[in-house]
């Protein structure tokens, strides 16, 4: 199987012209976070911005707005009235559908509830924007993966093996027994790009292509790493104006792993954190120039 490399990043990243402005470099609408899960929103947002997106619109419950905005001042915020449980309610859907963006990120820290199910179902069915679906959005899809066939634009899924098992209605052991076949089969069946995370992440396209990623290490096995990857992936997707979802996903995985390797070199695998990977993203991008 072919592997991702620095050329993978070159293929995905659009030229950054000297006269670029924030509109040139893409707008990302991130719909993430809930009470108690501000970190997921924060990490994905920081990763998206460090990955070069021109404008980040962060839609989140107003209860966590002060926490996230205090750490990520570069984002534009859409604070939303939350449910009693602190999640983004379905009542916000019409407002969110009206937002202009080149790509969407949906799922990080949203919470697994009826409101999240309504958000995911509506955006997959009605939005014409390419999207990255992660975390709780994947849990919603596990109940009805055929929903993906209704999507009007490219979709990237970023499951770990247990999430992949729920999506494919199998077991994590079966997923790991043939990771490439699992990712390829699901991607082809539902016409999506699949990023099957783990040691040797597999990136599979709707047309049967697949890549193995060689970067990354066991220090990345900690909560929040997936939020960082989702943010990078969505950022590249927005910068490409929704084109080349497979290339964007492959480049994001390579950069994410390289940033993790740099963090491990600096701090050690046991002590590194997802936020340390974000700090190393500039070095990873520079290494791929």
The tens digit of pLDDT for each residue in 226-264 reads 999 999 999 999 999 888 999 999 999 999 999 999 999
The predicted structure's pLDDT at residue 11: 87
Is 191 among the domain residues? yes
* H or E element, residue 6: helix 6-12
Summarize pLDDT for 51-99 with one digit per residue, the tens: 999 999 999 999 999 999 999 999 999 999 999 999 999 999 999 999 9
Helix, strand or coil for residue 240? coil
Is 1 among the domain residues? no
Containing structural domain, residue 142:
6-287
Closest CA relative to residue 41, chosen from 12, 9, 78, 96: 78
Closest CA relative to residue 246, chosen from 155, 163, 129, 135: 155
**Count of domains forming the chain:** 1
**What's 110's domain CATH number?**
3.40.1190.20
What value does the mean pLDDT take over residues 12-18? 84
The whole-angstrom separation of Cα 30 and Cα 38 is 13
Summarize pLDDT for 122-179 with one digit per residue, the tens: 999 999 999 999 999 999 999 999 999 999 999 999 999 999 999 999 999 999 999 9
Is 69 among the domain residues? yes
The predicted structure's pLDDT at residue 18: 87
Provide the pLDDT confidence category of residue 15 given band limits of 50, 70 and 90: confident
The predicted structure's pLDDT at residue 242: 83
Is 248 among the domain residues? yes
Helix, strand or coil for residue 221? coil
**Beta carbons of 233 and 195 less than 8 angstroms apart:** yes
Going across the sheet that includes 210-212, the strands are: 76-80, 55-61, 27-31, 103-106, 131-133, 155-157, 193-196, 202-204, 210-212
Summarize pLDDT for 100-121 with one digit per residue, the tens: 999 999 999 999 999 999 999 9
Residues 6+ apart with CB under 8 A from 67: 38, 42
Tell me the average pLDDT of the chain.
Answer: 96
Is 35 among the domain residues? yes
What value does the mean pLDDT take over residues 30-50? 98
The predicted structure's pLDDT at residue 240: 94
The predicted structure's pLDDT at residue 122: 98
Is 24 among the domain residues? yes
The predicted structure's pLDDT at residue 201: 98
Q: Has residue 14 got a pLDDT over 80?
A: no
């Amino acid at each position: 199987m072919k592997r991702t490399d620095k050329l993978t990043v070159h293929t995905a990243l659009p030229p950054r012209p000297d006269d670029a402005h924030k509109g040139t470099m893409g707008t990302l609408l991130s719909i993430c976070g809930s009470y108690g899960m501000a970190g997921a929103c924060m990490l994905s947002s920081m990763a998206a911005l460090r990955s070069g997106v021109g404008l980040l619109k962060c839609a989140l419950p107003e209860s966590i707005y002060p926490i996230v905005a205090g750490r990520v001042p570069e984002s534009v915020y859409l604070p939303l009235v939350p449910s009693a449980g602190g999640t983004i309610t379905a009542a916000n859907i019409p407002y969110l559908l009206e937002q202009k963006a080149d790509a969407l990120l949906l799922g990080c820290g949203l919470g697994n509830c009826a409101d999240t199910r309504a958000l995911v179902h509506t955006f997959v069915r009605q939005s014409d924007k390419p999207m990255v679906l992660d975390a709780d959005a994947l849990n919603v899809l596990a109940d009805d993966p055929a929903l993906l066939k209704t999507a009007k634009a490219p979709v990237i899924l970023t499951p770990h093996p247990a999430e992949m098992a729920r999506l494919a209605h199998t077991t994590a052991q079966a997923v790991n027994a043939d990771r490439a076949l699992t990712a390829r089969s699901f991607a082809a069946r539902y016409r999506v790009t699949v990023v099957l995370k783990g040691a040797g992440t597999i990136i599979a396209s709707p047309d049967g292509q697949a890549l193995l990623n060689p970067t990354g290490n066991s220090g990345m096995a900690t909560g929040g790493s997936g939020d960082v990857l989702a943010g990078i992936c969505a950022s590249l997707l927005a910068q490409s104006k929704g084109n080349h979802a497979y290339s964007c996903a492959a480049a994001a995985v390579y950069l994410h792993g390289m940033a993790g390797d740099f963090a491990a070199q600096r701090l050690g695998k046991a002590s590194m954190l997802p936020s340390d990977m974000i700090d190393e993203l500039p070095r990873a991008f520079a290494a791929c120039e």
